[in-house]
Amino acid sequence: NAGVTQTPKFQVLKTGQSMTLQCAQDMNHNSMYWYRQDPGMGLRLIYYSASEGTTDKGEVPNGYNVSRLNKREFSLRLESAAPSQTSVYFCASRPSGGTEAFFGQGTRLTVV
Amino acid sequence: TQLLEQSPQFLSIQEGENLTVYCNSSSVFSSLQWYRQEPGEGPVLLVTVVTGGEVKKLKRLTFQFGDARKDSSLHITAAQPGDTGLYLCAGVSGGSYIPTFGRGTSLIVHP
């Protein structure tokens, strides 16, 4: 059982480059989330998707866009990367009626 | 805005010692969760508490939810090196089911 799979695991970008972080879950969960984790800041919500076809902004959405491609996949796009977006990005999913969030292993992104 | 304040931020102790981590908020939560995160991995749920005053035990870990459902604590008895990690509390409000995380407590247990 793969759970939540994120790709890539590591990425280095130059300022101004764009990229898409991929996330897929095989647990048939309705809700999916993107968080970023910075030292001393815990996890902060970027965007979430309560169900297929819907997305909403979280606490720190500026500079990001998301796509809920289908029930399994939820991608995060950086259109023009900035050094402030250097972080570890986590995707998570949650089943309907449950409160536990299941996390992927994270993508460590460095913007130089 | 961090709605959940965790303390202490860092904790370095010897094997066999006891410790308590606190998670405080001015907001009321419908449930509160504790996650543990190891280096290079995503957080993994340890427990969810939903009732004010609730106490849950998981082997040497004891979790308590405050009566007013605004705060929680995690107590570890006789800590072991395997307990080393980042402990995160997360509050869930109303029907949103969106976990809001504290900044975390980094625990190191020395052999």
- Segment B22-47 shows an average pLDDT of 93
Asked if A43 lies within 8 A of B88 by C-beta distance, the reply is yes
How many Cβ atoms sit within 10 Å of the Cβ of residue A3? 15
- CB contact at 8 A, B89 and B4: yes
Residue of B7, B101, B106 best to disrupt the A interface, most CBs of A under 10 A: B101
Predicted confidence (pLDDT) at residue B35 exceeds the cutoff of 60: yes
- Distant-in-sequence, close-in-space partners of B9: CB < 8 Å, separation ≥ 6: A40, B103, B104, B105, B106
**Chain B residues within 8 A of A43 when measuring between CB atoms:** 43, 88, 90, 101
Instruction: Check residue A16 and give its pLDDT.
Output: 97
Distance from CA of B43 to the nearest CA of A (A): 6
All residues of chain A having their beta carbon less than 8 Å from the beta carbon of residue B48 are 99-100
Q: Quick one: pLDDT at residue B45?
A: 94
What pLDDT, on the 0 to 100 scale, is given for residue A1?
A: 61
Q: Do B42 and A42 touch (CB under 8 A)?
A: no
**pLDDT for B90 beyond 60:** yes
In this prediction, the residues of chain A whose per-residue pLDDT falls under 50 are none
pLDDT digits (tens, 9 = 90+) for B47-83: 999 999 999 999 999 999 999 999 999 999 999 999 9
Candidates B4, B24, B98, partner chain A, best to mutate (most A CBs within 10 A): B98
